[in-house]
Amino acid sequence: MPKAIFFTRLPADTAALLTDQAPPAIEVQTYPMSIPDEEKAKLVADADFLILFPGHASETVIRAAKNVKLIQLVSVGFDQMDLDLCAELGVPVANNGGTNALDVAEHTIAMILAMYRRFVEMDHNVRTDNWRGIDSGSTTYTIDGKTVGLIGLGQIGQRVARLLRAFGATVVYYDAFPAKPEVEQDLGVERVALEELLQRADIVSLHVPLNDSTKGLINEQSLSLMKPNAILINTCRGPVVEEAALTAALQKGQIAGAALDVLEQEPPAADNPILQLDNVLFTPHTAGVTRDTWARRGKFIFANLQRVWAGERPLASV
């Protein structure tokens, strides 16, 4: 029977939502991510699979996992993994195959609506006896008729595009790897150059992985191309945006606002100036995390482990 070791920071009852999807043919042992590397190394010595959430393992642990046939990440992000070392050792690494795409897409739409309809401020005003503190007739907006620019049209970007169609938005996208024509037609999206997207979009939403080509993609120059009434949504990775440049643009009113699920440093320092801005909405890197997500991730993960155990190539290899 193949053995999978699962290192995680999830509470035991939440982790069980994922491991409950394991078939009887796979033995799963769950341990806290916080245990010392020396103990982890002993645990993985005879393991066939390593499951990680968050997606990080030290060199000590990876080298000790001599029998591991797949390192399976529960997250979509893989920027914390030493992929060069895994390649050197011949150990494939897979992410979650986009099984949290629905969660991130819904979070993205919720952030757009919260910004456009000023939900947080309105809630505060009602609670503090300021019933009409906001003139919604002049300071709130509808998604219908707006142009939304998606930077990245992977599984998450595609789900966001599909949801936006129901709101009546025009959707353009930029991706270094163009979608197939039939996908563009099905989603009703148009691929444009990054500069054109930034100039046209009322809402810019980021859906790219963090790598050398995307780090600092949104910077002083790209922000200068955006409309003064545009908002920026980031539910991918903090370093995709140069935070100091974004802070300056927001302070100057160069763009209207931002909704950020991720930051360069997480959690942010208490004196981070972006936290003082009232035209920014924050969530704590939770876009892809809902109670419903774990079962979806678990089904994919254990199906992937079974594929590899049967001698097939893993899906979602990174």
**Which residues partner with 71 through β-bridges?**
50, 93
- How far apart are alpha carbons 257 and 111 in whole angstroms? 11
- How far apart are alpha carbons 50 and 314 in whole angstroms? 13
User: Is 266 annotated in the active site?
Assistant: yes
- Show the tokens assigned to 41: 């190394």
C-alpha torsion sign, points 162, 168, 174, 177: positive
13-28 burial, b at 16+ Cβ within 10 Å, e below that, comes to eebebbbebbeeebeb
Which member of 118, 237, 296, 297 is catalytic? 237
- How far apart are alpha carbons 55 and 71 in whole angstroms? 9
Which member of 39, 190, 266, 312 is catalytic? 266
**Which residues partner with 151 through β-bridges?**
174, 206
- Show the tokens assigned to 128: 């503090």
- How far apart are alpha carbons 91 and 84 in whole angstroms? 10
**Which residues partner with 223 through β-bridges?**
none
Shortest CA distance to 51 belongs to which of 79, 89, 22?
22
Q: CA-based Rg of the chain, rounded to a whole angstrom?
A: 21
Quick one: DSSP state of residue 265? S
User: Is 9 annotated in the active site?
Assistant: no
Shortest CA distance to 248 belongs to which of 217, 216, 224?
224
- How far apart are alpha carbons 156 and 163 in whole angstroms? 11
**CB–CB of 226/254 below 8 Å?**
yes
User: Is 191 annotated in the active site?
Assistant: no
Residue 22 CB-half CA count within 13 A: 22
Which member of 63, 117, 191, 285 is catalytic? 285
Q: Catalytic residue numbers?
A: 237, 266, 285
